[in-house]
């Protein structure tokens, strides 16, 4: 089958990864709609779902051998909307609007940091890097930055206590997560973390425990995981520095 311009039409299987990306885009953007309806838990949940879809689209593309420059650019645009614009607007509508112009400035700051983080990622994606650096990301990745920015929201759901009247909490969360995204602090890439064979079964049991907790007390579980990730950042920085020194010693030798 050919198009009207004489080029072969792409098979349906090559469109699947882009369809997942667009689904993530629509899911993240819909969070703003539900925030306007003050359905806060659903709004945050949609951004979480967008993060899951974002983690899947690249793997699906590589599995189907359907990755492309178009897909990579579409993914970045989707990330900016789902993890840059949507979380910032949700947090603004929930609490920061009490600060009026200052609250909106913080919203713009977070979204801008997300754009800068994605632009840096896109320009460095083809740069040659040592194999060991694949376990680290430069700065906090986009989905993690979005979730860190919404930590006070998740804590308020867990405590079943509205925190709209404490905009300072949300100001710190957006400011801190934005700075972490544009920083050059090495952070772990979870999918590339190597697990020793003796700990594989233990990890599987931990996954079972995590899923049980997620279905029982979802917001407590997600809040705790986010806080654990935040405390892992100094550990990842130290690990990166140690591995870098070992690599430099090998090169010198």
Decide which of 215 and 8 is more confident.
215
pTM: 0.86
How do residues 84-104 score in pLDDT, each as one tens digit?
999 999 999 999 999 989 999
Say how many C-beta atoms besides its own lie within 10 A of residue 16's C-beta.
Answer: 16
Give all domains of the chain, ordered by start, each with its CATH number: 12-248 (1.20.120.1760)
What pLDDT, in 10s, does the model give residues 110-158? 999 999 999 888 887 666 666 666 777 888 998 999 999 999 999 999 9
Contact 83, 47 (CB under 8 A): yes
Q: Which residue has the higher pLDDT, 250 or 197?
A: 197
Residues 164, 153: Cα–Cα separation, whole Å: 9
Distance CA 95, CA 104 (A): 11
Is the Cβ–Cβ distance between 132 and 189 less than 8 Å? no
List, for residues 76-85, the tens digit of each pLDDT value: 899 999 999 9
Closest CA to 144 of 160, 121, 166: 121
Residue 1 is predicted with a pLDDT of 46
């Amino acid at each position: 089958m050919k198009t009207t311009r004489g080029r072969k039409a792409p098979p349906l299987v090559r469109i699947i990864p882009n369809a997942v990306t667009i689904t993530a885009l629509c899911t993240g953007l819909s969070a703003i709609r539900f925030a306007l309806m003050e359905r806060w838990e659903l709004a945050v949940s949609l951004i979480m779902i967008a993060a899951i879809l974002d983690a899947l689209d690249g793997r699906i593309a590589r599995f189907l051998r359907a990755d492309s420059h178009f897909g990579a650019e579409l993914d970045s645009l989707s990330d900016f909307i789902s993890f840059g614009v949507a979380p910032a607007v949700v947090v603004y509508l929930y609490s920061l609007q009490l600060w009026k112009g200052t609250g909106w400035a913080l919203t713009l700051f977070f979204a801008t940091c997300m754009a800068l983080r994605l632009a840096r990622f896109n320009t460095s994606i083809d740069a040659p890097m040592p194999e060991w650096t694949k376990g680290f990301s430069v700065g906090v990745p986009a989905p993690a930055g979005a979730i860190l920015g919404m930590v006070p929201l998740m804590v308020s759901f867990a405590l079943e206590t509205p925190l709209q009247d404490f905009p300072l909490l949300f100001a710190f969360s957006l400011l801190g997560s934005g700075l972490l995204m544009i920083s050059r602090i090495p952070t772990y890439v979870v999918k590339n973390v190597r697990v020793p064979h003796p700990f594989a079964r233990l990890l599987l049991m931990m996954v079972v425990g995590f899923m049980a907790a997620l279905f029982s007390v979802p917001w407590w579980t997600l809040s705790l995981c986010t806080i654990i990730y935040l405390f892992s950042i100094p550990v990842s920085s130290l690990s990166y520095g140690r591995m870098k020194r070992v690599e430099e010693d090998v090169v010198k030798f």
